[in-house]
Amino acid sequence: NAGVTQTPKFQVLKTGQSMTLQCAQDMNHNSMYWYRQDPGMGLRLIYYSASEGTTDKGEVPNGYNVSRLNKREFSLRLESAAPSQTSVYFCASTEFKRGGYTFGSGTRLTVV
């Protein structure tokens, strides 16, 4: 099925370790986003890419970096994981037509 694919689904990291969350969409959308979701705080924007070749900081970018590898793929990197980065991470894409975002199924990350 067409949509947004995120990998991995689950990950446990030790403090200070690094990792990259992968996201790919097959809907030919220009805009892609990374959100984190914490209990009681809704979805907060980490980084976004309005189009291929551009990336910009969102509301909570500290501790993260992103790469828009091509139109399909948008990765999120944690260089030195901290317990405060324990969260569920969602990738989304859109063309800002009716329907808004299409979300991936999420990556549940625990930093110990």
Residues 6+ apart with CB under 8 A from 91: 4, 6, 21, 23, 25, 32, 33, 34, 35, 74, 76, 103, 104
Judged by CB under 8 A, the residue of 11, 45, 63, 69 near other proteins is 45
> Closest Cα to residue 34, out of 17, 52, 56, 12?
56
Judged by CB under 8 A, the residue of 1, 2, 14, 42 near other proteins is 42
CA angle at 95 for the pair 89 and 101, rounded to the nearest 5°:
35
Residues in contact with other proteins, counted by CB under 8 A, come to a total of 27
How many angstroms separate the most distant Cα atoms in the chain? Answer: 41
Fill in the per-residue mask, 91 to 110: x = in contact with other proteins (CB under 8 A), - = not in contact: -x-x-x-xxxxxxxxx----
Q: Find the shortest distance in angstroms from Cβ 106 to other proteins.
A: 5
Judged by CB under 8 A, the residue of 50, 63, 71, 72 near other proteins is 50
Contacts to other proteins by CB under 8 A: 4, 31, 33, 40-43, 45, 48, 50, 56-59, 90, 92, 94, 96, 98-106
